[in-house]
Amino acid sequence: MATQAGAPPSVGIVDRWQAARLPLPGWFPWLAGRLLAGFGTVLAVSAIVYLATLALPSDPARVILGPEATDKAVAILREQLGLNRPIAVQYVDWLRHVAVGDFGNSLDSNVPAFGLVIERLGNSIALMIFVLLVTAPAAFLLGVAMAVKRDSRFDRTAMTLLIGFKAVPPFAIAVALILLFSTGPLAILPAVSILDPSLSPFAQPLYLVLPATTLLLLVLPFLTRLIRASLTETLEADYIAAARLRGLPERRIVWRHAVPNALPPVIQGFAMATRMVLGGALIVEVVFSYPGIGSALNAAIETRDIPVVQAIALLTAIAVVFINLVADFATVLLTPRLRTTTRPRLRSGTGARLRLRAGGA
Amino acid sequence: MIAPLLLDRRGLLATAGMTGLGLLAGCGGARAPQAGVDEGKPRRGGRLRIGTIEPTQAGNLDAHKPVGAGIIRGWAIYSKLWEWTKACEPTGALAESTEIAPDGQSVVIRLHQGLEFHHGKTVSAEDLVYSIRRISDPQLASPYAGLVAAVNRDTIETLDPRTVRLHAHPGKGLVALMDTWISFGGIVPTDYDPVHNVVGCGPFRLKSFKPGQRSTFTRFENYFKPGQPYVDELEIIEFKDQTARAYALQSGQIDLADLVPVEQAQLLRRSPGVKVVTSPTNNVQSLDMNVLHPALSDVRVRQALRLLADRPDLVKRALHGEGTTGNDLYSPHDPTYDHDIAQRAHDPDKAKWLLAQAGHPSLALTITANAAGAPAALVFAEQARKSGLDLKVERLDAASFAVPAPPGRAITTGGIPARGFLASALHYDAPDAIINRTNFHDPRFGALINAALSQPDVEKRKPLVHEAQHIQHDRGSLLIWGFTHVRAAARDTIGGLVAEKTQFGGWRVDEFWRKDA
Please provide the DSSP assignment of B275-332 as one string: EEEEEEEEEEEEEEE-TTSTTTTSHHHHHHHHHH--HHHHHHHHSTT-EEE--S-S-T
A210 and B CB contact within 8 Å: no
A86 and B CB contact within 8 Å: no
Per-residue pLDDT at A21 exceeds 80: no
- Is the Cβ–Cβ distance between B416 and B283 less than 8 Å? yes
- Interatomic CA distance for residues B143 and A76, integer angstroms: 11
pLDDT tens for chain B, 517 residues long, are 333 333 333 333 333 332 333 333 333 333 333 344 457 899 999 999 999 987 677 788 999 988 777 888 999 999 999 998 888 888 999 999 999 999 999 999 999 999 999 999 999 999 999 999 999 998 998 888 888 999 999 999 999 999 999 999 998 999 999 988 887 889 999 999 999 999 999 999 999 998 888 999 999 999 999 999 999 999 999 998 888 899 999 999 999 999 899 888 988 999 999 999 999 989 999 999 999 999 999 999 999 999 999 999 999 999 999 999 999 999 998 999 999 999 999 999 999 999 999 999 888 999 999 888 999 999 999 999 988 899 999 998 877 787 766 777 899 999 888 888 999 999 889 998 888 889 999 999 999 999 999 999 999 999 999 999 999 999 999 999 999 999 999 999 999 998 888 766 567 899 999 999 8
Q: Which residues of A touch B246 (CB under 8 A)?
A: none
Per-residue pLDDT at A54 exceeds 80: no
| Most A CBs within 10 Å, among B9, B213, B242, to test the A interface | B213
pLDDT number for residue B34: 39
Q: Does the distance separating the beta carbons of B427 and A57 come in below 8 Å?
A: no
A76 and B CB contact within 8 Å: yes
pLDDT number for residue A7: 46
Radius of gyration of chain B (CA): 23
Q: Which of A99, A57, A107, A104 is nearest to A305 (CA)?
A: A107
- Interatomic CA distance for residues B369 and B286, integer angstroms: 11
- Interatomic CA distance for residues A147 and A232, integer angstroms: 5
Q: Which residues of B touch A79 (CB under 8 A)?
A: none
Task: Assess if residue B93 is contained within a domain.
Answer: no
Per-residue pLDDT at A55 exceeds 60: yes
Concatenating the DSSP letter of every residue in A24-43 gives PPTTHHHHHHHHHHHHHHHH
Q: Which of A225, A219, A31, A44 is nearest to A142 (CA)?
A: A225
Residue B347 C-alpha, separation from nearest chain A C-alpha, in angstroms = 33
How many domains does chain B contain in total? 1
Task: Assess if residue B150 is contained within a domain.
Answer: no
Nearest to B59 among A109, A120, A288 (CB): A109
Q: Does the distance separating the beta carbons of A63 and B399 come in below 8 Å?
A: yes
Nearest to A66 among B67, B237, B245 (CB): B67
CA-based nearest residue in chain B for residue A195: B213
- Interatomic CA distance for residues B419 and B12, integer angstroms: 10
Q: Which residues of A touch B60 (CB under 8 A)?
A: 108-111
Task: Assess if residue B505 is contained within a domain.
Answer: no
pLDDT number for residue A19: 59
CA-based nearest residue in chain A for residue B70: A109
Q: Is the dihedral of CA A83, A89, A95, A99 positive or negative?
A: negative
Burial of A6 (0-12, 13-18, 19+ CB in 10 A): exposed
- Look at chain B and count its residues: 517
Q: Does the distance separating the beta carbons of B210 and A65 come in below 8 Å?
A: no
Residue B143 C-alpha, separation from nearest chain A C-alpha, in angstroms = 4
The boundaries of the domain holding residue B463 are 281-484
Q: Which residues of A touch B274 (CB under 8 A)?
A: none
H or E stretch covering B348: helix B348-357
Q: Between the CA atoms of B485, B489, B492 and B497, what dihedral angle is there, to the nearest 10 degrees? A: -60
How would you label A202-219 residue by residue, b for 16+ Cβ within 10 Å and e otherwise? eeeeebbbbbbbbbbbbb
Task: Assess if residue B426 is contained within a domain.
Answer: yes
Task: Assess if residue B191 is contained within a domain.
Answer: no
Give the model confidence (pLDDT) of A148-200 as tens digits: 998 999 999 999 999 998 899 888 999 999 989 988 778 889 999 988 888 89
pLDDT number for residue B10: 37
pLDDT band at A45 (very low <50, low <70, confident <90, very high): confident
H or E stretch covering B210: strand B204-210
Task: Assess if residue B380 is contained within a domain.
Answer: yes
Task: Assess if residue B85 is contained within a domain.
Answer: no
Q: Does the distance separating the beta carbons of A303 and B248 come in below 8 Å?
A: no
**What are the residues whose beta carbons fall under 8 Å from the beta carbon of A143, sequence distance 6 or more?**
A223, A224, A225, A226, A227, A228, A231
- Interatomic CA distance for residues A16 and A66, integer angstroms: 61
Determine the 3-state secondary structure of B196 from DSSP: coil
CATH of the domain at B461: 3.10.105.10
Task: Assess if residue B257 is contained within a domain.
Answer: no
pLDDT number for residue B25: 32
